[in-house]
């Protein structure tokens, strides 16, 4: 069965620091990759997605992610975080089959002023 691993469960950083969240998956075939964000008290929203093409994808709010097929990774980055980026971030993988979106455990990011 496919699985998704997020390297950090909890990250604390200061405003203007750079952020990188790791995501690895275990599936050898074609995959669709997603990063979702959940702000405090809110539901999940899509940050960005990768289906095919340029492995560097840009999402909303200045986030980007790079798909490295050889490493089965889809790491999320933001060059300079803001306090409003405090949220929980989830990596998710779908192998294209019906209903099989697999989520990682999530990374709680806290940005301090």
Partner 1 sequence: NAGVTQTPKFQVLKTGQSMTLQCAQDMNHEYMSWYRQDPGMGLRLIHYSVGAGITDQGEVPNGYNVSRSTTEDFPLRLLLAAPSQTSVYFCASSLLAGEGEQYFGPGTRLTVT
Radius of gyration, alpha carbons of the chain: 13
Token code pair at residue 107: 């990374």
For partner 1, the closer CB: 75 or 94: 94
- Regarding 103 and contact with partner 1 (CB under 8 A), the answer is yes
* CA distances, 50 to each of 16, 41, 42, 88, 99 (Å): 26, 26, 24, 20, 17
Give the separation between CA 80 and CA 87, rounded to whole angstroms. Answer: 15
DSSP conformational letter for 42: S
Applying CB under 8 A, which part among 12-20, 66-74, 79-87, 94-102 lies near partner 1?
A: 94-102
Instruction: Choose, by CB under 8 A, the member of 32, 64, 66, 86 that binds partner 1.
Output: 32
Angle at 30 between CA 28 and CA 94, to 5 degrees: 95
Of 13-21, 46-54, 58-66, 67-75: span binding partner 1 (CB under 8 A):
46-54
Of the candidate residues 18, 51, 58, 71, the single one contacting partner 1 (CB under 8 A): 51
Count the site residues for partner 1 by CB under 8 A.
Answer: 28
Judged by the rule CB under 8 A, the positions of this chain that interact with partner 1 are 4, 6, 9, 32, 34, 36, 42-46, 49, 51, 90, 92, 94-106
């Amino acid at each position: 069965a496919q699985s998704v691993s997020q390297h950090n469960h909890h990250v604390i950083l200061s405003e203007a620091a750079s952020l990188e969240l790791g995501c690895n998956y275990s599936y050898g075939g074609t995959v669709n990759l997603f990063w979702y964000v959940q702000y405090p008290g809110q539901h999940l929203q899509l940050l960005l997605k990768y289906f095919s093409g340029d492995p560097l994808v840009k999402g909303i709010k200045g986030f980007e992610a790079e798909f490295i097929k050889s490493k089965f990774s889809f790491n999320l980055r933001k060059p300079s975080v803001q306090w409003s980026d405090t949220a929980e971030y989830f990596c998710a993988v779908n192998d294209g089959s019906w209903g099989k979106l697999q989520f990682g455990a999530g990374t709680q990011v806290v940005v301090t002023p």
